[in-house]
């Protein structure tokens, strides 16, 4: 059964329902209604991505930048300890 192309359903969402019929709601621009539009496709703009990052970042202690900085500091500490042994 072609669920998108029934004459009486023209222009409607047409998603298959659990009752065995087709959804008769009016669709959004993506062709499905607000209940059957599918998952989010993620941020569309760099600004949107930045907004999500800011919202999800609590303290940034595990960011690549912070982890890299701790790595550098640890390496410097190791080298300092080695130098102290030699002197």
The nearest distance, CB 46 to Zn ion, in angstroms, is 32
Closest distance of CB 73 from Zn ion, Å: 55
Q: Which is nearer to Zn ion, 30 or 79 (CB)?
A: 30
> C-beta of 42: minimal distance to Zn ion in Å?
22
Nearer to Zn ion, 26 or 53 (CB): 26
Give which of 16, 33, 48, 64 is closest to 72, Cα–Cα: 64
Please state the separation of Cα 30 from the chain's center in Å: 19
Q: Which one, 21 or 86, has the nearer CB to Zn ion?
A: 21
């Amino acid at each position: 059964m072609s669920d998108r192309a029934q004459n009486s359903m023209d222009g409607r969402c047409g998603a298959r329902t659990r009752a065995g019929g087709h959804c008769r709601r009016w669709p959004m621009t993506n062709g499905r209604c607000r209940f059957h539009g599918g998952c989010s496709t993620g941020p569309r703009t760099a600004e949107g991505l930045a907004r999500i990052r800011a919202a999800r970042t609590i303290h940034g202690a595990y960011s690549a930048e912070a982890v890299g900085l701790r790595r550098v500091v640890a390496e410097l500490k190791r080298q300092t300890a080695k130098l102290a042994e030699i002197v």
